[in-house]
């Protein structure tokens, strides 16, 4: 017996039962012993990169979680190694970020700041922004309404 909405658009964002919350990409199944188990079916992560003025914009779709944050980490590391220090993460199509995902974002933020780099965020869904605020992560994560605002907010490069 499986509980699952028929399509992604029909799925509820989450439903709670007691102390457990099951996210929009999870499935509950009865295993052979009659116990119910939660199976995770992550939304695949897709990352497109565009250059906007002095910044590289990563347009992310899918959820950033323990199951698929490695792909984002590899892309952030690649851009860092190539010398890019101004990134905008467009998260319009990111419905969910778990603690591992936030850990990755904070670690990347620290790495970029250590070399006078910046990572800004735009189009962050309300539910993800709420977690940022509740977790007091707004001191580390700077969110803008639009890509243009984020790109314009980068400080000028340091003169050598």
Nearest to 42 by CA among 92, 100, 109: 100
pLDDT for residue 20: 39
Higher-confidence position of 100 and 42: 100
Domain span at residue 33 reads: 2-40
Residues 8 and 56 in one domain: no
Predicted TM-score (pTM) of the model is 0.73
Residue 77 lies in a domain: yes
Q: Mean pLDDT over residues 34-41, rounded?
A: 56
pLDDT for residue 102: 94
Residues 28 and 79 in one domain: no
Residues 109 and 141 in one domain: yes
pLDDT digits (tens, 9 = 90+) for 55-91: 999 999 999 998 888 999 999 999 999 999 999 999 9
pLDDT for residue 13: 39
Checking if the pLDDT of 6 tops 70, the result is: no
Q: Mean pLDDT over residues 28-57, rounded?
A: 74
Q: Mean pLDDT over residues 96-108, rounded?
A: 94
Nearest to 38 by CA among 24, 48, 28: 28
pLDDT digits (tens, 9 = 90+) for 12-25: 434 333 333 334 44
Number of domains in the chain: 2
Would you say 113 and 154 are in contact if contact means Cβ atoms under 8 Å apart? no
Would you say 146 and 112 are in contact if contact means Cβ atoms under 8 Å apart? no
Residues 143 and 96 in one domain: yes
Burial (CB count within 10 angstroms: exposed 0-12, middle 13-18, buried 19+), residue 31: exposed
Residue 158 lies in a domain: no
Residue 18's SS3 state is coil
Would you say 97 and 64 are in contact if contact means Cβ atoms under 8 Å apart? yes
DSSP state of 97: B
In angstroms, the CA 65 to CA 53 distance is 30
Instruction: List Cβ neighbours of 25 (8 Å cut-off, separation of 6 or more).
Output: 11, 40, 41, 42, 43, 63, 96
Q: Mean pLDDT over residues 106-123, rounded?
A: 95
Residue 52's SS3 state is strand
Residues 29 and 61 in one domain: no
């Amino acid at each position: 017996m499986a509980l699952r909405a028929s399509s992604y658009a029909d799925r509820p964002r989450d439903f709670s039962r007691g102390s457990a919350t099951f996210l929009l990409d999870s499935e509950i199944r009865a295993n052979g012993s009659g116990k119910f188990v939660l199976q995770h079916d992550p939304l695949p992560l897709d990352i497109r990169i565009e250059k906007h003025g002095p910044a590289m914009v990563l347009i992310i779709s899918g959820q950033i979680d323990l199951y698929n944050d490695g792909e984002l980490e590899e892309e952030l590391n690649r851009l860092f190694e190539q010398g890019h220090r101004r990134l905008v993460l467009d998260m319009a199509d990111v419905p969910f970020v778990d603690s591992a995902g936030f850990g990755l974002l904070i670690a990347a933020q620290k790495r970029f700041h250590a070399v006078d780099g910046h990572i800004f965020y735009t189009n962050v869904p309300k539910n993800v922004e709420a977690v940022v605020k509740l977790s007091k992560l707004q001191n580390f994560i700077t969110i803008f309404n639009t890509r243009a605002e984020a790109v314009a907010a980068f400080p000028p490069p340091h003169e050598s």
